[in-house]
Amino acid sequence: MCQTSTVPESLRDFFVRNPKVAVAFSGGTDSSYLLYAAVESGADAVAVFVSTPFQFHGEKEEAERMAKDLGAEFRVAEARLMNDPDIISNTAERCYFCKRRVLGAIASVTEKERVLIDGTNATDDPDDRPGTRALAEFGVQSPLKICGIGKPEVRGLSRRAGLSTWDRPSNSCLATRVPTGIRLDQNLLDTVSNCEEALRSLGFREFRVRTNGWDAVLETVSEQQPLLESEKAEVERILLKYHRTVSYKERRPRL
């Protein structure tokens, strides 16, 4: 799996300068490639996964398998988000407050001499990621962004490296499915998780279920329109189990 050509020289140089790192690790495309690059470059890298109520079932187990496959130590920190009024009030600043909690949890299980790094890449739009400013507050470095490596490059390098995450659809936390201003609670998050996991079992890959607690909006990319048409009755059975109404919206594919 490990091939020199899969790690650009600029990224390899980053790890020469920073040989001891802690990777904020979700097990997704970006953080998996970043961990791979760190290990391949000879860095002492640990993968830190933060367990939160905003994650889908099985995310921790998938991340742990990936970290072990890459030969890195896997650590778990816990962020208690549901007792934070700045987070559950779900204002436009929610992502920032959440990111601060998550980074604080990572720091709590990481030695001070390790450089904290994350998988933000060069094509990530900071305007679309309100939590980005928390990275600077915690001194987190983003090697992919620093080295000018964007999402298409990450996917290509991951594929050449043989990483199973190379074509994984971009995802975000459960809280992003709830409109700003709607208070978050565990029942609402469980509804999103249950709906999306059921739809994923039908073959949907790049999609979102948006909900305010009463009405569901299913966003799908155009490539999955035939699947939606063929499974529409089952889709509506799943979503109407938790909602009064269901509507549909086309989703723009993410990189």
Instruction: Write out the chain's pLDDT in tens, 255 residues.
Output: 444 589 999 999 999 999 999 999 999 999 999 999 999 999 999 999 999 999 999 999 999 999 999 999 999 999 999 999 999 999 999 999 999 999 999 999 999 999 999 999 999 887 667 778 899 999 999 999 999 999 999 999 999 999 999 999 988 999 999 999 999 999 999 999 999 999 999 999 999 999 999 999 999 999 999 999 999 999 999 999 999 999 999 998 877
User: Is the model's pTM score more than 0.85?
Assistant: yes
Q: Which two three-digit tokens encode residue 21? A: 């790192």
Q: Tell how strand 215-220 and strand 207-211 pair up.
A: antiparallel
**pLDDT digits over 107-123, tens only?**
999 999 999 999 999 99
CATH code, 185-250: 3.30.70
Give residue 80's pLDDT.
Answer: 94
Q: What distance in Å separates the CA atoms of residue 22 and residue 159, rounded to the nearest whole number? A: 23
Give domain 4-161's CATH superfamily. HUPs (3.40.50.620)
Q: Starting from the edge strand earliest in sequence, which strands make up the sheet with 115-117, in order? A: 73-78, 44-51, 20-24, 115-117
Give residue 254's pLDDT.
Answer: 73
Q: Which two three-digit tokens encode residue 35? A: 């961990």
Give residue 125's pLDDT.
Answer: 80
| Backbone φ, ψ for residue 27 (5° rounding) | 90, 5
Give residue 1's pLDDT.
Answer: 41
Residue for token pair 């079992």? 201
Domains 4-161 and 185-250 share a fold: no
- Count of all residues that appear for the chain in the document: 255
Taken in order 29, 122, 6, 72, is the CA torsion positive or negative?
negative
**pLDDT digits over 213-228, tens only?**
999 999 999 999 999 9
Q: What distance in Å separates the CA atoms of residue 167 and residue 160, rounded to the nearest whole number? A: 12
Domain positions in the chain? 4-161, 185-250
- The answer to whether 168 and 144 have CB atoms below 8 angstroms apart is no
Give residue 129's pLDDT.
Answer: 72
